[in-house]
Amino acid sequence: MKVLIVKTSSMGDVIHTFPAIEDAVRNRLDVSFDWCVEEPFAGIVALHPAIGVIHKVVIRRWRKRLFGGQTWREMASLRRALRAGNYDLVIDAQGLLKSALVAIQAGAPIAGFDRASAREPSATLFYQRKYAVPRDLHAIERTRRLFGLALGYQPDLSALNSGIVPPAGGLAGIEGKTAFLLHGTSRADKKWPVEDWIETARRLADRQFTPVATWSNEAENKVAEAIAGAVPGTVLVAKSPLADIAAILGRSTLVIGADTGLTHLASAFGLPTVAIFLATEPGLTGPRGPFASTLLAPAGGRVTPAEVMAEVERMLALRSNAPA
């Protein structure tokens, strides 16, 4: 049975789908999976060994140039590729109108959330198989239940495994413990103050950790340079392809991150991960993993470096005491 997964974005949403694939691989040995995803996240999808063909879309660019000839050629090429896949089933794991419009291009039956469960009820107009999944569950559990209903098995929700390993690579010439500081995030109200990152990096250095920081734009570069300038020994990783960052991240001793996709990736790798949520509620979409923890700022309050380091110690202790 050939199944096409449609979950085009964001990075966190893509990562939240991996445990559902692990369930399916264990319960349905006859099923193979391809995936349709936004081009920037294709490298993340490729981390899972059960995924075959990865179809790439660039929906944001297509929307901006909807009447351009190149856009129509690219969309026609996608349609041909999806039809050539001869899929038995498409699972729209996103539940949005845009994902449903992508899913119908495959010309196969579409399974998805029912009207009460989908993020955008209008998407369900295009589904042939609709399943009720409570909306008050974490995104990982919702997706696992959807896959189980669509493919005919009961997922074991007591276990959580993403099934991914870091790509080859990592930091050369760095020995000892490393702490990746994921300070960059898309919204200003999600950003932890630079002075708190600096203080945390100092405390990590005192614990014989090498702080590691990277950046993807000029604003983030300034923060990374400020951390490195204040804390000698901090390693700055230049703006790099996502696969290279994933390789470094996956070989870190621990990760401290803002509400960003790479923090979800760290938890999916099973790393000791402390997430700092300042303006968003982590309950339904926060990082999940065996050694992942989220600190949520109280209304009108803040998360302090001391609180972060206390949680770091707790996660490291959990990891050291876990069975091999």
Q: How far apart are CA 141 and CA 279, in angstroms?
A: 23
Q: Virtual CA dihedral for 293, 21, 167, 95, nearest 10 degrees?
A: -70
**Residue 240 pLDDT > 90:** yes
Average pLDDT over residues 239-252: 95
Q: How far apart are CA 286 and CA 57, in angstroms?
A: 26
Predicted TM-score (pTM) of this structure: 0.95
How high does pLDDT run on average in the chain?
Answer: 96
Average pLDDT over residues 95-121: 98
Bond prior to 240 in cis (omega within 30° of 0): no
Assigned token pair, 324: 């091999």
* Cβ–Cβ under 8 Å, residues 322 and 303: no
**Residue 324 pLDDT > 80:** no
Average pLDDT over residues 186-190: 91
pLDDT of 61 reads 92
Q: How far apart are CA 42 and CA 47, in angstroms?
A: 9
**Residue 150 pLDDT > 80:** yes
Question: What are the backbone angles phi and psi of residue 261, rounded to the nearest 5°?
Answer: -60, -35
Q: Which helix (H) or strand (E) holds 90?
A: strand 89-92
pLDDT of 27 reads 98
Distance of CA 191 to the CA centre of its chain: 18
Q: How confident is the model at residue 230 (pLDDT cuts 50, 70, 90)?
A: very high
